[in-house]
Amino acid sequence: MIGPDLVPAPPGPPMAGMTLWLKRGTYAAGTWPDASGNGFDAVGPGGAGNPTAGALHGHPSPSFDPAQSQYLGVQGTVAQVLNSGVSAGQVWALFVVFSYTGATAFGDASNTPYLIMHDPGILPLWGACVGITGGILDICGYNYEETGSQVLTPDVTVAGPTAALHFMSSFAQGNGAGGSLTTTVDAGANATHVGTAGVVILGGQTIAVGACGNPPVAGHPFYQGLIGELIVYAGPSGGVPLSAPDLAAVNAYLASF
């Protein structure tokens, strides 16, 4: 229910355009099944590397311990999850519900934990990252490597308890020169990067939840905390990943967490 038992919770997000859905309350024993129907399950490496089963707002959720190098590998490449290709006009939307309990400073690729990320190369990264600077939670909806410096650019900062339940939505419009991104956290401040020249998404790369790549790339830190839900939509080149009514429906669904 939303609010004081006044409005029934939405049954689920719209399925049109959805490519990946790690649904609330369905994680168990190192496997988070993909409820989109596309088969992109997120699976742990086994043993101590599997996130434990925690609870976020009463929903069984993977709880990640970086000391155990815990992560879940998505069973699909970036190109597959972004709907069978990565083009100059590629559009997508990424939604994540999470609670971050780490104490990592935000900065370059050597100290920024990832909620969802593909393995990096000399070209940019795709996904979401979190960190803390001066007690403020920093979130990247889409972080990219500046050639040579590997500086990751934060999109949104959020004051208040970092371990609280947070909602992130990130919309990419275009891949490469002229591309733009808007990220929103907790329905708060927006930030948009326009004209991100040289940002290129590598379609063949692997994806992980709670780490950088599947298997994780050495030297990149693991996530600490819980992740309650993760949804990805992909749209046609030059289009939008979600219609306005569908976006409103997704937001209403996430608000019921």
Distance, first Cα to last Cα, the chain: 9
Question: In the numeric block, which tokens belong to residue 95?
Answer: 């939604």
Reduce the DSSP state of residue 252 to 3 states and report it: helix
What pairs with residue 31 in β-bridges? 28, 43
In the chain, where the domains are located: 50-255
pLDDT of residue 146: 45
pLDDT of residue 2: 45
Give the Å distances, CA to CA, from 75 to 20, 79, 127.
Answer: 10, 12, 16
**In the block, residue with structure tokens 């994780």:** 216
Give the Å distances, CA to CA, from 32 to 70, 74, 183, 189.
Answer: 14, 9, 25, 31
Q: In this structure, what are the phi and psi dihedrals at residue 199, rounded to the nearest 5 degrees? A: -75, 115
The DSSP bridge pattern shows strands 180-185 and 59-64 to be unpaired
Predicted confidence pLDDT, tens digits, the chain (257 residues)? 344 555 666 689 999 999 999 999 999 999 999 999 999 999 999 999 999 999 999 999 999 999 999 999 999 988 889 876 666 677 889 999 999 999 887 765 567 788 998 887 545 557 888 888 888 888 887 655 444 444 455 568 888 888 999 999 888 776 655 667 778 888 765 555 444 445 556 667 899 999 988 999 888 889 999 999 999 998 877 778 899 999 999 999 999 99
Residue 30 per-residue DSSP state: T
Give the Å distances, CA to CA, from 194 to 88, 197, 199.
Answer: 14, 9, 11
The CATH T-level fold of domain 50-255 is Jelly Rolls (2.60.120)
Letter for the amino acid at 182?
T
Distance between CA atoms of residues 252 and 78, nearest Å: 27
pLDDT of residue 7: 60
Question: In the numeric block, which tokens belong to residue 223?
Answer: 């996530």
pLDDT of residue 13: 96
